[in-house]
Structure 1
Amino acid sequence: MRQLTLKIPKGHKEKVQDAIDHFGGKNTIDISSENEDVFMIYLPNEKVNDFLKKIDQFEEPEITLIPRGVITLYPPASEAPDQVADVKPKSSLEIYLGGIQSVGSMFGLIGYSFVAGIIVWIGLFTTTAYLLVAAMLVAPFAGPAMNAALATASGKADLLKSSLKRYAIAIITGIFASFLLTLLFPLTTLTPLMEEVSQVSKFALFLPLVSGFAGAINICQSERDSLVSGAAVGILVAASLAPPVGLIGAGLYMMDWQVVFSSLFRILLQLLGIHLAATLVFYFYGKVTPDGVRFLKGVKKTGLITTMVVILGIGAMMYWQFRQPPFLSKASMNTELAEVLDSELKKIPNIRILNKDVTFNNIQIDNRSIATFEATILKTDTLISSQELEDGIIRHLKQNMEYPYDNVYEVFQIKIVRD
């Protein structure tokens, strides 16, 4: 339930009371004076917007909305547990206004983005994974992401432009911070964590879709109905953006264009995926539509055009990703190739597989990406020399491994051990 204080000129008391009853108001307090009717009203969350639309017919109502959950108890007392457990999503008005309130200052946006870029760079430079998590906590990407989706759902072009502008500022600031640190502490080669972060999975679209869905659900739900904190959802949104933002700065300094382009691909894909999923949640679950929010005069055409651009953008990026593997699919291709490697190694007699792995790097030979097939083998036949066994394994793998990629340059690293 939400608490509202309503003040309107005299003469509409009965109509207001009828509207309160119609929208499920409880425990209403009438504290009217000689010149004004004043009501303290408690309404179900999702009814607030519709109630305010209803009373717009009266003369210039003054409204105070407290965006906090209120527990209302009313007869019969036996139903009190059900009354407390009746938690509804926020009204579309509260969702929209709450998103606008969360914009914050430009100084804070730039400051947090710069700090997040520094933390990401330190984590990538020192290969410290938990620093990437720390950067996700600091990175202010969730706010612009959700506001851009709110703008599309509500058809507000001005809010969309403002949100995209803040998006761009946050990302460019993070890239600048990373580039500046790389300039001060030059890198000549990528660290292992940078190599890992630079690689894109063919399932990369799933993360932004899930992030956008979770972020929008968190905003729509009442605070007592939310099982996940807003900070945790913010981390989920930033998880897909903070690492590649920090990596671009280092890639630009080193002029490693594979790293730069793969990171830009991830950032753009994350933005589009988050935007699409969050927009759909706000529109269908939160009821944030051009005609559904009081005070708001959105343009449905704006939302439709933006959504179509986002969908076409995702489609184009998916086509680009799957058209030329492994450039934008290395993070998942290494798992696929590791399965092929394991399958072929199991066909070779007199060995036991202790470990196997396939890794990609950003080096190319003959316009083909290098994939290193690694395996640690325990030989069980002592009559065969280690060198002979190693040569036989490599020869078998070259002749028999089959996978649907023809632009992979195979490199083998077979280690023979014995008990």
Structure 2
Amino acid sequence: MRQLIIKVPKGNKEEILGLVTEFKGKNTICLSEEKHDVFVLFLPNQKVNNFLKHLDKYEQPEISLIPRGVITLYPPASDSPDQVADVQPKSSLEIYLGGIQSVGSIKGLIGYSIAAGIIVWIGLYTTTVFLLVAAMLVAPFAGPAMNAALATSAGKMPLLKSSLARYGLAIGTGILVSFLMTVIFPLETLTPLMVEISQVSKVAILLPLISGFAGAINIVQSERDSLVSGAAVGILVAASLAPPVGLIGAGLYLLDWEIISSSVFRVVLQLLGIHLAATLVFYFYGKVTPKGVRFLQGSSKMTWFTSSFVVLAIAGMMFWQFSRPPFLRKASMNTELTEELDKALNELEYIEVIGKDVNFTNTRIKGNPTVSYNVTVLPKDTGLADAVLKKRIIDHLKQNIKHQDDNIYEVYQVNIAED
């Protein structure tokens, strides 16, 4: 329920009370003064927007909407549990106005972007994972992401332009800070964490879709109905953006174009995926549509054009990802090739496998991406020389590890353990 305070010209008391009844308002209080009637009333969340539309026929109505959940209790007392449990999503008006109100200052946006850029760079430089989580906490990406989606669902081009500008400012600041940090503390090569983060999975599109969905749901739902805090959802949105943004700055310093291009791919894919999922939630669940919000009058053409552009852009990026293996699928191919390695090793009865690992490197040999197979085994037949045993294992792996791509250069490292 939402509390509203309404002030209309005197003489409309009965009409307003009838309107309140029609929209299931509760616990209404009417106060009269010389020229106006003032009403304090409580409406279900979903009724607020349409109720306010009906007030337009009155001369210059004054409205105060308190965006806080209110528990209303009314007879019969036996229905109180059901009355309290009736939690509805916010009205489309409150969702839209709340998004605009959360824009914040440019100084704050830049300040948090600088802080996030420094923290994520330190995390990448020192290979400290918890610092990446800290950077996600302060990275100001969730606000512009949700506002851009709100703008698309509502068909408001000015809000979309301002949100994209704030997006660009936050991401650009993060990249610049990461680059300057690398200039101050020069890197000669990428750290293991940087290499790991730079690798893209074939399921990379799922993270932004989930992030956008969760972020929009958190905004649409009433605060008493939300099971997850806004800060946690903000981390989820930033999780898909903060690390690759910091990696772009380091890649620019090292002029490592593979790192730069894979990170840019991830950033753009994350932005598009978050935007698409959040727009769908706002449009269909939050009812934020070009004609669905009072005062708005957005453009339906803009909504459909922008949404179509985003869908086509995502389709194009997915086509590019799967048409250029393994450049943009290294993370998932590591798992696939590890499974193939395990199958091949299990066929060898004369060894006991102690450890195995598959990693793509950023080194190109003969112009092809390089994958390294590392195996540690304990021989069951001690009569074989180590050199002979290694050659037999490598020959077996070359013949039995199967993958669809013929442009991968494979190297093998077999270690013989002793008991």
Report the TM range for the smaller structure's normalisation.
over 0.9
Amino acid at match of 2:47: K
Moved more, 324-333 or 398-407: 398-407
Give the match for residue 124 of structure 1: 124
Give the match for residue 14 of structure 1: 14
User: 1:298 is paired with a residue of what secondary structure?
Assistant: coil
Give the match for residue 416 of structure 1: 416
1:270-290 superposed Cα distances (whole Å, 9 cap, x missing partner) = 000000000000000000000
1:138-182 superposed Cα distances (whole Å, 9 cap, x missing partner) = 000000000000000000000000000000000000000000000
Give the match for residue 375 of structure 2: 375
Shift of 1:367: 2.1
Amino acid at match of 2:133: V
Shift of 1:418: 2.5
Alignment partners' CA distance in 2, 1:385 and 1:313: 56
1:202-224 superposed Cα distances (whole Å, 9 cap, x missing partner) = 10000000000000000000000
Amino acid at match of 1:317: M
Amino acid at match of 1:124: L
Alignment partners' CA distance in 2, 1:90 and 1:378: 63
| 1:340-351 correspondence runs (5 A) | 340-351=340-351
Alignment partners' CA distance in 2, 1:269 and 1:189: 26
Amino acid at match of 1:245: V
Alignment partners' CA distance in 2, 1:213 and 1:172: 25
1:321-358 superposed Cα distances (whole Å, 9 cap, x missing partner) = 00011100001000000000000011112111121111
Amino acid at match of 1:75: P
Alignment partners' CA distance in 2, 1:418 and 1:189: 34
1:219-276 superposed Cα distances (whole Å, 9 cap, x missing partner) = 0000000000000000000000000000000000000000000000000000000000
Give the match for residue 247 of structure 1: 247
Give the match for residue 295 of structure 1: 295
Alignment partners' CA distance in 2, 1:95 and 1:375: 55
1:296-335 superposed Cα distances (whole Å, 9 cap, x missing partner) = 1100001111001100100110011000111000010000
Moved more, 8-17 or 257-266: 8-17
Amino acid at match of 2:388: E
Is 1:104 paired with 2:94?
no
Alignment partners' CA distance in 2, 1:63 and 1:28: 15
User: 2:70 is paired with a residue of what secondary structure?
Assistant: coil
Shift of 1:400: 2.0
Alignment partners' CA distance in 2, 1:349 and 1:38: 87
Alignment partners' CA distance in 1, 2:16 and 2:374: 75
Shift of 1:386: 2.0
Shift of 1:14: 1.3
Give the match for residue 358 of structure 2: 358
Alignment partners' CA distance in 2, 1:346 and 1:186: 45
| 1:270-285 correspondence runs (5 A) | 270-285=270-285
- Find runs of 4+ consecutive structure 1 residues off by over 6 angstroms: none
Is 1:231 paired with 2:239?
no
Give the match for residue 136 of structure 2: 136
Alignment partners' CA distance in 2, 1:247 and 1:67: 39
Amino acid at match of 2:27: N
Alignment partners' CA distance in 1, 2:72 and 2:225: 16
User: 1:332 is paired with a residue of what secondary structure?
Assistant: helix
Alignment partners' CA distance in 1, 2:32 and 2:196: 66
Give the match for residue 4 of structure 2: 4
Size of the aligned set, in residue pairs, is 419
Amino acid at match of 1:325: P
1:23-59 superposed Cα distances (whole Å, 9 cap, x missing partner) = 1100000012121010001000111111101111111
Amino acid at match of 1:79: D
Amino acid at match of 2:37: D
Alignment partners' CA distance in 2, 1:148 and 1:39: 35
Amino acid at match of 1:357: D
Alignment partners' CA distance in 2, 1:324 and 1:277: 26
User: 1:355 is paired with a residue of what secondary structure?
Assistant: strand
Alignment partners' CA distance in 1, 2:177 and 2:323: 33
Give the match for residue 257 of structure 2: 257
Amino acid at match of 1:349: E
Shift of 1:402: 1.3
Alignment partners' CA distance in 2, 1:32 and 1:45: 26
Alignment partners' CA distance in 1, 2:183 and 2:43: 57
Q: Could you tell me which runs of 5 or more consecutive residues in structure 2 were left unpaired when the two chains were aligned.
A: none
Is 1:113 paired with 2:106?
no
Alignment partners' CA distance in 1, 2:27 and 2:387: 86
Amino acid at match of 1:13: K
Alignment partners' CA distance in 2, 1:159 and 1:254: 37
| 1:5-404 correspondence runs (5 A) | 5-404=5-404
Percent same amino acid at aligned positions?
Answer: 67
Alignment partners' CA distance in 1, 2:379 and 2:45: 69
Amino acid at match of 1:51: F
Shift of 1:116: 0.4
Alignment partners' CA distance in 1, 2:12 and 2:364: 77
Alignment partners' CA distance in 1, 2:417 and 2:286: 61
Alignment partners' CA distance in 2, 1:141 and 1:266: 15
Normalising by the residue count of structure 1, what TM-score does the alignment of the two structures yield?
Answer: 0.99
User: 1:243 is paired with a residue of what secondary structure?
Assistant: helix
Alignment partners' CA distance in 2, 1:237 and 1:86: 29
User: 1:56 is paired with a residue of what secondary structure?
Assistant: helix
Report the aligned-residue RMSD: 0.7
User: 2:203 is paired with a residue of what secondary structure?
Assistant: coil
Amino acid at match of 2:365: I
User: 2:57 is paired with a residue of what secondary structure?
Assistant: coil
Moved more, 295-304 or 349-358: 349-358
